[in-house]
Amino acid sequence: MYNTNVTNARANLYNLVNMAIDNSEIVNINTRNGNALLISEDDYNSLLETVYIMQDKKTMEAIKEAKENSDNENYWVDESEVNWDV
């Protein structure tokens, strides 16, 4: 996380935005009234998707089951056995 104050952020906004977009760097902008974060749209959407998935009980159960069975060789199906035309 890159930390800066609001005065420097104002002077370097273009560079900070590019840092967030190009490097997925979170920019913490400090002010007297509190802090604000600058993140890329891709990172923001990723966070929203993570929250959405974590709120879905069926999906989380499927992830948990897959994790528990990841070492069980009988749990997985070979790719050649999958009917991709469905």
Is pLDDT at 56 greater than 90 in this prediction? yes
Per-residue pLDDT at 67? 86
Is pLDDT at 7 greater than 90 in this prediction? yes
Q: How far apart are CA 62 and CA 67, in angstroms?
A: 9
Looking at every residue in the chain, the average pLDDT score rounds to 93
Per-residue pLDDT at 48? 97
Per-residue pLDDT at 70? 79
Estimate the crossing angle of helix 57-68 against helix 41-55, to 10 degrees. 90
Per-residue pLDDT at 77? 80
pTM (2 d.p.)? 0.71
